[in-house]
Amino acid sequence: MWKYKAETGRTTSEFLLEKRLEYGPIFILFFIHKPIVFLGDATYLRHVYINNHASLFKSSFFYPKFGFVYGERGAGYGLVSNTNEASWRKRRKLMNPAFHRKCLKDFMDNLNNVCDIFMTRLVRVVDGGKPTSMLQEFTKITLETMSQVSFNINTHAIEDPNSPFPGAIRHYLCGVQDNIDIPLHPTLLGIFQFKLFQNAIKREQIDAAQFLRKFASDCTTTRMKDIADDKAVPDDLLSLLIKDGSLTLDDIIDEFVTIFLAGQETTANSLSFTLYEVVTNPHVEAKLLNKVNEVLGGRDYVQFDDLAKLKYLGQVLEESLRKYPVAPAPSKVLAKGITVGGYHAYSKRKWN
């Protein structure tokens, strides 16, 4: 896999896709001592992940690599990397109200404001007459949106070319992928905390984890002080986590960094794939613009009630997610044996 990536410049996902086309919808790879079964068929996926979901649990070998980059704590034990089922359910239940429709309604002004800044940015891009990466542009807008809605923070990622946040997130996520590609337990990857074992790339990725965690820590402690001083604070995710009282400071920072990273990256990828499909299907683009204009009329802002009326836009986004699922393939460990595609896997074999 390392040789393939070095010679082609392609990704792990592209490597696995080639293997799926070569070997069929079910195959096994050995990462040193780890046998991993890959499923490339919708029927198999449904059988394992839906029909037998109760027999699956998170791998302590892979998931912590999202929370720790070469031993440096970033997202820590946030929702993505938390492998303790009871703890995960408690945290997820605690955070549910922050994603309720009422919260979305309260932040419509923030969303429209971010869109205005984004459109101003795109005008400058067009006037410049040079090609641009829409993935990078979408990364900035999703980062700013996530920051304002979840934490009431303005990162200035869209309008400030020197904003440190897009680069820090990119380096952190590259570090996560590099850690996943190394077949060592997350604890053993802590050896790279020693400068003797670091190179420039690893140092950059570790620095990114430190930067993001310090930023989250500063924002959290400031909000804690405001709450303790009875100051008016936003009714957002950060306040919800603090006011619950059951989480430690590190717990709150873990969830802060997790949402900050995972929320914006997946959304930016989804928007990029959607835009690609829309512009390569002119009939879809024409219908989409027509439907949006029917709802908004001459307005250049979106009201909360408009969202339910933008049905075709929702269908376009869902079709894009069907064709290009943006979250990494869920890696699970079996709690009991299961038969898939005529093959029987015993418990604690890895499914991906």
Q: What pLDDT digit, counting tens, does each position of 132-186 carry?
A: 999 999 999 999 998 888 888 888 999 888 899 999 999 999 999 899 888 888 9
> Has residue 60 got a pLDDT over 90?
no
Question: What's the predicted TM-score (pTM) here?
Answer: 0.87
CB 219 within 8 A of CB 249: no
Q: In terms of DSSP bridges, do strands 332-334 and 338-340 run parallel, antiparallel, or are they unpaired?
A: unpaired
Q: Are residues 120 and 246 in the same domain?
A: yes
CB 212 within 8 A of CB 168: yes
CB 340 within 8 A of CB 44: yes
307 in any annotated domain? no
pLDDT interval class at 348 (50, 70, 90): low
- pLDDT, tens digit, 9 for 90 and up, residues 69-90: 999 999 999 999 999 989 999 9
33 in any annotated domain? yes
Q: Mean pLDDT of all residues in the chain?
A: 90
141 in any annotated domain? yes
Q: Are residues 145 and 215 in the same domain?
A: yes
CA dist., res. 114 & res. 110, Å (int): 6
Q: Are residues 34 and 183 in the same domain?
A: no
- pLDDT, tens digit, 9 for 90 and up, residues 250-261: 999 999 999 988
Q: What average pLDDT score do residues 243-249 get?
A: 93
Instruction: Choose between 104 and 57: higher pLDDT.
Output: 57
Q: Are residues 5 and 144 in the same domain?
A: no
Binning the chain into helix, strand and coil, the percentages to the nearest 5 are: 65, 10, 30
Q: How does DSSP assign 235-254, residue by residue?
A: -SHHHHHHHH--S-HHHHHH
Q: Are residues 71 and 89 in the same domain?
A: yes
The pLDDT of residue 349 is 47
pLDDT interval class at 67 (50, 70, 90): very high
The boundaries of the domain holding residue 18 are: 1-58+332-351
Give SS3 for 161: coil
Boundary residue ending a domain (270, 301, 321) = 270
How many residues in total does the chain contain? Answer: 352
CATH number at residue 125: 1.10.630.10
Rounded (5°) CA angle 86-89-91:
110
The pLDDT of residue 351 is 45
